[in-house]
């Protein structure tokens, strides 16, 4: 760089650093999947035809994980890897602590009629019919086996249809992507295994309420159906179901990443240039968290759970901002939130009305 002007050398060096850091960041941020084998321990799940749901769900979950772990871009976490009881809320907490990208809870269905068969997928939502409520009621009844369930679940009663409404609001943020993930899994069952398509449905599952990411509950089939129960209890059947689920998860990951380009931060302002307060009514501070060539929907699931994200097109790039405030002190708090969510190179930008200005110009306006 000796023969280049100083400012060109600095630009070249900054570009190298940005793309190097971006490459490292992309390599170090695998797609995290949490696999939840339903029931366990003293909770056997349904016992259709003498089978144990807890055992079949665990075997399928472990096989799904074995398939996914072949992909170096995926990280797999299990809520349980052996026959133990795990509270529903703790299953969600495991996913939240891991900052997971997808939560999949695996179960086996049961019905009063032995003729019912087929695989189905559920996302959190208001049950549209009595059957969906019964499915959720069966899975939610696990909370009665937990200590202090009244306090942990804010008085939720699985047997009260009205109580389900309170479940919906928190997961609504991730509903669109949950439906996409569930649809991908459902299509995999139909296309790869020729299973009866029981479609994607919505119902009030407690285990899905407390997760902060797209979440799906899978009913792999009916143990109360003699032929389907035997299939799910067999090594061949468990392997086929696991491969179908794993393929769907990989497809969902690839499609999501194709539609949501990796964030590329193109500017970093040193802290020393940032003003300490704002008194101008026209002065607005925003936190830039990403820039991309792709036009990304400003939904929380596309931005690691951050809401109040806005988008602005500048040339060929779309820039994405978290929050908007007339106070720099508030903007600093927003910046901390963005960085805690993983946007380590986020920074504050300033606007005078609709015009973007430099931090130095904002400082002059304050003076």
Q: State the SS3 of 270-304.
A: CHHHCCCCCCCCCEEEEEEEEEECCCCCCCHHHHC
Instruction: Kindly tell me if the per-residue pLDDT of 296 is higher than 70.
Output: yes
- Range of weakest confidence among 14-18, 65-69, 196-200: 14-18
Cβ contacts of 317 within 8 Å, gap of 6 or more: 266, 291, 292, 293
From the CB of residue 166, how many other CB atoms can be counted at a distance below 10 Å? Answer: 14
pLDDT for the residue 187 = 95
- Greater confidence (360 vs 289) lies with 289
Gyration radius of the chain's alpha carbons: 24
- Greater confidence (186 vs 317) lies with 186
Domain range list for the chain: 27-259, 262-366
pLDDT for the residue 244 = 97
| Residue 42, token pair as written in the block | 């003293």
What phi and psi values does residue 211 have, to the nearest 5 degrees? -85, 145
| Residue 300, token pair as written in the block | 């929380």
Distance between terminal CA atoms of the chain?
39
Q: What is the pTM of this model?
A: 0.59
Q: Which CATH architecture has domain 27-259?
A: 3-Layer(aba) Sandwich (3.40)
Place of tokens 């549209």: 128
pLDDT for the residue 24 = 40
Arithmetic mean of pLDDT, 344-358: 79
pLDDT for the residue 124 = 80
- Greater confidence (364 vs 44) lies with 44
Instruction: Return the closest-CA partner of residue 249 out of 338, 316, 186.
Output: 186
pLDDT for the residue 213 = 87
Contact indicator for 307, 321 with CB cutoff of 8 Å = no
Beta partners for 356?
351
Q: Which CATH architecture has domain 262-366?
A: 2-Layer Sandwich (3.30)
Instruction: Kindly tell me if the per-residue pLDDT of 34 is higher than 90.
Output: yes
pLDDT for the residue 144 = 62
- Rounded CA separation 157/141 (Å): 9
- Rounded CA separation 153/90 (Å): 12
Could you write out the three-class secondary structure of the chain? CCCCCHHHHHHHHHHHHHHHHHHHHHHCCCEEEEEEECCECCECCCCHHHCCHHHHHHHHHHHHHHHHCCCCCEEEEECCCCCCCCCHHHHHHHHHHCCCCEEEEEEEECCCCCCCCCEEEEEECCCCCHHHHHHHHHHHHHHHHCCCHHHHCCCCCCCCHHHHHHHHHHHHHHHHHHHHHHHHHHHHHHHHHCCCEEEEEEECCHHHHCCCCCEEEEEEEECCCHHHHHHHHCHHHHHHHHHHHHHHHHHHHHHHHHHCCCCCCCCCCCHHHCCCCCCCCCEEEEEEEEEECCCCCCCHHHHCCCCCEEEEEECCEEEEEEEEECCHHHHHHHHHHHHHCCCCCCEEEEEECCEEECHHHHHHHHC
pLDDT for the residue 353 = 78
pLDDT for the residue 11 = 42
pLDDT for the residue 339 = 86
Q: What percent of the chain lies above the pLDDT cut of 70?
A: 69
Q: What percent of the chain lies above the pLDDT cut of 90?
A: 38
Instruction: Kindly tell me if the per-residue pLDDT of 4 is higher than 50.
Output: no
pLDDT for the residue 325 = 87
Instruction: Kindly tell me if the per-residue pLDDT of 298 is higher than 90.
Output: no
Q: What angle do CA 230, 232, 237 make, to 5 degrees?
A: 105
Question: Model confidence over 11-21: pLDDT tens digits?
Answer: 444 444 444 44
Beta partners for 144?
none
């Amino acid at each position: 760089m000796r023969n280049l002007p100083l400012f060109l050398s600095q630009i070249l060096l900054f570009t190298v650093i940005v793309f190097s850091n971006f490459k490292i960041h992309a390599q170090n941020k695998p797609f995290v999947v949490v696999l939840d084998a339903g029931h366990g321990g003293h909770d056997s799940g349904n016992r259709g035809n003498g089978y144990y749901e807890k055992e079949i769900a665990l075997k399928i979950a472990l096989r799904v994980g074995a398939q996914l772990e072949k992909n170096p871009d995926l990280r797999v976490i299990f809520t349980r890897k052996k026959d133990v009881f795990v509270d529903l809320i703790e299953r969600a907490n495991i996913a939240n602590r891991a900052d997971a990208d997808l939560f999949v809870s695996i179960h086996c269905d049961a019905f009063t009629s032995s003729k019912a068969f087929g695989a189905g997928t559920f996302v959190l939502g208001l049950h549209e019919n009595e059957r969906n409520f019964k499915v959720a009621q069966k899975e939610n009844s696990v909370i009665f086996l937990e200590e202090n369930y009244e306090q942990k679940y804010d008085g939720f009663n699985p047997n009260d249809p009205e109580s389900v409404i309170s479940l919906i609001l928190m997961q609504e943020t991730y509903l669109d992507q949950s439906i996409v993930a569930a649809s991908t899994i459902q299509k995999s069952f139909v296309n790869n295994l020729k299973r009866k398509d029981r479609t994607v449905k919505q119902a009030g599952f407690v285990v899905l309420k407390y997760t902060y990411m797209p979440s799906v509950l899978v009913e792999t089939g009916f143990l109360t159906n003699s032929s389907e129960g035997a299939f799910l209890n067999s090594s061949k059947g468990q392997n086929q179901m696991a491969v179908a689920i794993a393929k769907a998860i990989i497809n969902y990951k690839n499609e999501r990443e194709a539609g949501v380009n990796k964030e590329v931060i193109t500017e970093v302002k040193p802290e020393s240039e940032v003003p300490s307060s704002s008194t101008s009514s026209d002065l607005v501070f925003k936190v830039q968290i990403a820039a991309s060539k792709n036009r990304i929907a400003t939904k929380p699931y596309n931005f690691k759970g951050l809401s109040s994200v806005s988008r602005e097109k500048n040339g060929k790039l779309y820039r994405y901002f978290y929050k908007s405030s007339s106070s720099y002190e508030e903007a600093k708090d927003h910046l901390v939130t963005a960085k805690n969510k993983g946007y380590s190179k986020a920074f504050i930008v300033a606007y005078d009305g609709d015009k973007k200005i430099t931090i130095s110009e904002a400082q002059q306006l304050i003076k």
